Structure 1
Amino acid sequence: MSLKVLYIAGWGRSGTTIVDNILNSYDGVFSTGELFYLWSRGLLEGRKCGCGSVLTRCALWASILDTAFGADRPCPERISRLQRESIRVRHTRSLTGPVPSAGAQEYRAVTNRLYHAIAEVTGARLIVDSSKVPSAAALLPGMSGIEPYLLHMIRDPRAVTHSWMRATAKADRVQERPAAGTMHWLVRNALAERLAGAYGGRYRLLRYEDFVAAPRATIDGLLAFAGVAAGAGPFTGDSTVRLDVNHTIAGNPGRFRTGEVALRVDDRWRAEQTAGPRLTATAVAFPLLHRYGYRTRTSRPNRPATTRG
């Protein structure tokens, strides 16, 4: 039986972390967080696992790496170099072809071994990888023994811009200027949508705004989409959830939250965002703004998205 892997693609600050953490709290589901950054942020920089331990001291990840590679563990510097040279975002379209580069094939093989080791160690029936990098998502359909699913998460670019601009001392968050951040939003989302065909119908678009309007129903729908029985789950109400400790790699500092969490829309940007960043984000995102149901005038309600999925 193939291992189910749900890859979350898109751009940061789009609600991927909370969706990731909720899914992780279901029996039979294990979230890796941003697995793409295991080698750089986890093993080289020594950042924290979601459990709170430095990742290099996390017993679970040590077991996964031993199961995947034994004494022949790949050099983190080499895998990071492969990512920089062969798995760049700009390579996304070419990586969906039948014969990717030797570097891409090597990286695909390493990641495939990791996915299977994660399933063996954790007993998960569904692995959730919220790396968001579209070039890495392009390699998933070609992995042996993997049944791939693609969740494309998106959020109003004005909200995303505001979130990236907020100052923070957390290591996993950096500030992005409005034009640069929105250009990333535009490129990442366009590439994520282009991958739909490679996933053979296992593609779904989810807007952050739709998720927070009906969290429980949305998560139930995602599990059904991936063919996994929801069971009792972590929800204590339609919009409240009890989060378990996780072992996620990198990402939004919200991944460290556990216990009871009330899910509410974060729309502080509407009151706090100044005209300059809002106009910049609107202008840069305009080619895809209406496609995803976001209006130019933010005072008007969103429309349904017009993408497939």
Structure 2
Amino acid sequence: MVKVLYIAGWGRSGTTIVDNILNSYESVFSTGELYYLWRRGLRQRRKCGCGDRFAACALWREILDVAYGKRQPDPKAVDELQQRISRVRHTPSLASGPLSDEAEEYRRLLTRLYHAIGEVTGARLIVDSSKVPSGAALLPRMRDVEPYLLHMVRDPRAVTHSWMRATPQLDRPEPQLMQQHRPADSTVHWLVWNAFAERLARSYPNRYRLLRYEDFAAAPREGIERLLEFTGVDVRNSPFLDDTTVLLEPNHTVSGNPSRFRTGEVALRPDERWRADQPIGPRIAVTALALPMLHRYGYKVSVAA
């Protein structure tokens, strides 16, 4: 049996730092955004969190060998399969009811991968921060997998502000900027992805947790330890130096925010730059679009800085 914690939610919600902290516990291994293994890791040959090109990372070569042996899946074929069956709108059908032949093929492929990760790393808990709701939908349907779901939410105005900033990608052969999202696009994604993630709670009876970025940032050590206790993982030998300072270990994450490459001592503070820097126009637009779910997640409607 392999234990997997899947982190779901729209991007820029604090998932990468939570992922990196969890990975720094001895009994935890983080894959980063495993969803992008085939496209970014194997097809685009981006960097592993360890700094090596993904194909050159000895750990991932061993994992793939244990998972698939000499019959390695074709990355292009898996990427295209993934695009056909794991779109966000397919989340409900992947969570319940009969699976199509292609969805069943994809489920078997991922099941073998999770088991190989557990076997090679020896981790008591695997963390997959892919965020995509459709990936979380399939996890409870995998054989000999004990699934947990962490649903991370952040104020949509802060999320939009982060998506609008120019952020360099550090894992590509040639320097590029990460994709940016305009306020309406980011907020619609925020609404849809969070709605689907919340709906998946019924597929994770007693194994679903909602964590707001703001609550985590206010008390990071407490939030992480509660999460590990929830998954049944020992919190001793903590990487925390105090309640808000952590020693981040190197990782082997497949993909994620560029901050996944950060290691060493890190002081954790809430990122509230959006309150002072975000123009009033985008702030009003996001507030209006997200209004139905602002109160649900405990965010104030006021757009004042």
Query: Same fold per TM (> 0.5)?
Result: yes
Number of the residue aligned with 2:121: 122
Number of the residue aligned with 1:206: 211
Matches within 5 A, 1:95-134: 95-134=94-133
List structure 1 segments (4+ residues) > 3 angstroms apart after TM superposition: none
Instruction: Quote the Cα distance in structure 1 between the aligned partners of 2:100 and 2:236.
Output: 42
1:76-132: CA deviation from partner (whole Å, max 9, x where unpaired): 111111111111100001111131111111111111111110011110010000000
Instruction: Quote the Cα distance in structure 1 between the aligned partners of 2:19 and 2:65.
Output: 25
Structure 2 residue runs of 5 or longer lacking an equivalent are 170-175
Number of the residue aligned with 2:173: none
Match of 1:229 among 234, 246, 254: 234
The two structures have a TM-score, normalised by structure 2, of: 0.96
Matches within 5 A, 1:92-241: 92-170=91-169, 171=176, 173-241=178-246
The two structures have a TM-score, normalised by structure 1, of: 0.95
1:124-177: CA deviation from partner (whole Å, max 9, x where unpaired): 010000000001110000000000000000000000000000012325721100
Number of the residue aligned with 2:34: 35
CA drift of 1:58 comes to: 0.6
Instruction: Quote the Cα distance in structure 2 between the aligned partners of 1:19 and 1:217.
Output: 12
1:172–1:253 Cα contact (<8 Å) kept: no
1:172–1:252 Cα contact (<8 Å) kept: no
Query: What's the Cα RMSD here?
Result: 1.1
CA drift of 1:298 comes to: 4.3
Structure 1 residue runs of 5 or longer lacking an equivalent are 301-309
CA drift of 1:3 comes to: 1.2
CA drift of 1:299 comes to: 4.7
1:96–1:198 Cα contact (<8 Å) kept: yes
Matches within 5 A, 1:219-298: 219-298=224-303
Matches within 5 A, 1:79-94: 79-94=78-93
Amino acid of the residue matched to residue 197 of structure 2? A
Instruction: Quote the Cα distance in structure 2 between the aligned partners of 1:263 and 1:7.
Output: 22
2:167–2:177 Cα contact (<8 Å) kept: no
Number of the residue aligned with 1:303: none
> Tell me, what secondary structure is at the counterpart of 1:17?
helix
